[in-house]
Amino acid sequence: MKKFLFLFLFFLVISCGSKKDEINVRSGITNMETSGNIEIKQEDIDNFWTLYSKREKNLLESFNNGDKYQNKDLAALNDELKKIDASLEIEIKPNTKEKRILTITANGIPELFPAVIKVAKAAPKNKLWNIEALRQRADLPVQIEYKDTILDSESTEFSYEMRDNKIDLKIYYPENTEDNLVITYVFLDGIIGEYDTAKHIGGLELINKKESDKKYYPLNELRSVVDNLKKEPKK
């Protein structure tokens, strides 16, 4: 059964393969290489989790009852999170057999990754939600839906070149629209994770015509390309 990444204007509802009852950070993230030194206030972090503790039950009940689009509790939490940094955002994943998942994302900004980790690790121990730091890899194949656009990692194709130990991507969309540009990075985050997208993807170009001298692969295979790159010794 295919997994879906549902995008909404205000927040995301994402499906993902991780089902651990703990703060979930991607493999090796404690040793990740990050740049920048963005300062965040502990008081703002504490205020966010205090509000979360007051709202988590109502938020859970409303999502379980199908209230996904105009959720006041989620809006309040997002507003409080943005007091820590305006680029941070909460995303909610669809229901699973276990706890629902609340993801704190830096929206692909590497300088904010340490801040996201710090916020996630400050989560209260007794909580109704699983907390994830950064968008995690979803189960393959990944489908993403936004407005009238649906992308599928099995049918979407890419070519790539290596440059300076990073992957330059060309993604082929037969009908390349502005919506494709909006959602492609979230699409990539679902396939290889937010951290690996920021660290290992260099150039990104969306094309609507294949180049005859390039070989194209299903976007599912990008995960293997990235994982093989991570195994190579650093130059």
The stretch 136-140 carries a mean pLDDT of 93
What are the pLDDT digits (tens) for 49-76? 999 999 999 999 888 887 665 589 999 9
Query: What rounded mean pLDDT belongs to the chain?
Result: 83
The model's confidence at residue 92, banded by pLDDT at 50, 70 and 90, is confident
Q: What is the pLDDT of residue 114?
A: 95
Is the pLDDT reported for residue 219 higher than 50? yes
4, 29, 1: which is closest to 93 by C-alpha? 4
What is the Cα–Cα distance from 104 to 89, expressed in whole angstroms?
Answer: 6
pLDDT at 94: 66
Question: What is the pTM for the complete model shown?
Answer: 0.82
Mean pLDDT for 215-233 is 94
32: CB partners within 8 A, 6+ apart: 113, 195, 199
- The order of strands in the sheet holding 149-152 is 130-133, 101-105, 89-92, 12-14, 3-7, 142-146, 149-152
What is the Cα–Cα distance from 124 to 134, expressed in whole angstroms?
Answer: 18
Task: Give the span between the Cα atoms of 153 and 221, in whole angstroms.
Answer: 9
Question: Taking 80 as the threshold, does the pLDDT of residue 79 lie above it?
Answer: yes
- How does residue 14 score in pLDDT terms, banded at 50, 70 and 90? very low
Residue 21: is its pLDDT beyond 80?
Answer: no
Q: Which residues contact 188 (CB under 8 A, 6 or more apart)?
A: 197, 201, 222
Nearest Cα to 206, choosing from 235, 179, 233, 234?
Answer: 179
What's the rounded mean pLDDT across residues 156-175?
Answer: 95
Measured CA distances, 92 to 109, 140, 147, 234 (Å): 19, 19, 18, 35
The two tokens of residue 141 are 């194949």
Tell me the residue ranges of DSSP E strands in the chain.
3-7, 12-14, 89-92, 101-105, 130-133, 142-146, 149-152, 157-163, 166-172, 201-207, 217-218
How confident is residue 126, by pLDDT bands cut at 50, 70 and 90? confident
CA separation (Å) from 165 to 28, 188, 202, 230? 18, 18, 9, 10
* 3-class secondary-structure state, position 84: coil
Q: If you average pLDDT over residues 126-138, what whole number do you get? A: 92
Question: Which pLDDT band, with edges at 50, 70 and 90, does 97 fall under?
Answer: low
- The predicted structure's pLDDT at residue 95: 60
